[in-house]
Amino acid sequence: MNDAPHPPAMMLFDGPTSQRGYAFNRFAKTLTRPDGRAAFLADPRGTMQAMGVGETEMAAVAARDWTALLACGASIYLIAKVAIALGLTLNHVGAQMRGESIEDFDAAIRARQA
């Protein structure tokens, strides 16, 4: 049994959630293109503001608070695009969501695979 902390509740990604996260998700989709990634890395806040991303979402990106982005209606797929553009891995996202260090998260994965 895994005793590691988990997000407090499952978050449903439905129509209203999708609408709430539309501006962030539209922005994050631009990170699939090299020019979108370059613009974001050069000016993260300005790039997000230009796409209508709200203050809450911008603060969550700055804090690398992926769980907060989920609560704002961000798609997990597009959260991954942001993390990868910032040089992070999916394991970094998972570790933050579980409240673990990347080292502890990676060790837990290796232990499950053994």
Read off the CATH number of the domain in which 71 is found.
1.10.700.10
What's the pLDDT at 1?
A: 41
Segment 73-90 mean pLDDT: 95
| Residue 86 within any structural domain of the chain | yes
Segment 12-22 mean pLDDT: 84
| Residue 2 within any structural domain of the chain | no
Domain enclosing residue 55, as ranges:
15-113
| Residue 52 within any structural domain of the chain | yes
Whether the CA torsion 40, 65, 92, 32 is positive or negative: it is negative
| Residue 27 within any structural domain of the chain | yes
| Residue 64 within any structural domain of the chain | yes
Model confidence pLDDT, tens digit, residues 93-107: 999 988 999 999 999
- Pick the more confident residue, 36 or 18: 36
| Residue 8 within any structural domain of the chain | no
Number of domains in the chain: 1
